[in-house]
Amino acid sequence: MKWYLILAHDAADSLPGRQQARPAHLARLEALQAEQRLLAAGPLPVSDTDAPGIAGFSGSAIIAAFASIEDARAWAAVDPYVAAGVYQHVEIKPFMKVFPQS
C-alpha cells in the first residue's frame, strides 16, 4: 500500500449537495479509517474561519493508502460527492509521508 493525496475541487454552489451527500461520504472515510488506511481527511473552507457557514468549501483533501494510483482513482470516482455534483475536478497524486514519524 502507498499513500495518495486526493485533492477535490468543488463546483460552484456545492454546499447543498455537500450537506445531502455528507453521511454517505463520511461512511466511506470511516471504512478507510477502520482499515487503518486513512492518514487525514477534511474539507477546505472558502474562508479562514472555524465556521464557514454559507460561504461553504472550495474542496476536500484526503490522504489514504491504496494498492495503486489506479485504485485511488477508482475509489475517488465513486465518491458520493462526485455523484452529487459537489466535486468539479479531482486530482490524485502520490504522497510520501515523512512526518510525523511512526
Query: In the numeric block, which cell numbers belong to residue 16?
Result: 447543498
> Residue 102's pLDDT is what?
74
Q: Domain spans of the chain? A: 2-95
* CATH ID of 2-95, from 3.40.1410.10, 3.50.50.60, 3.30.70.1060, 3.40.980.10: 3.30.70.1060
> Residue 35's pLDDT is what?
98
> Residue 95's pLDDT is what?
98
3-state SS, one letter per residue, for the chain? CEEEEEEEEECCCCHHHHHHHHHHHHHHHHHHHHCCCEEEEEEEECCCCCCCHHHCEEEEEEEEEECCHHHHHHHHHCCHHHHCCCEEEEEEEEECCCCCCC
Identity of the residue numbered 51: A
- The structure's pTM equals 0.92
Mean pLDDT by runs of 10 across the 102 residues of the chain is 98 92 98 98 88 82 98 98 96 96 80
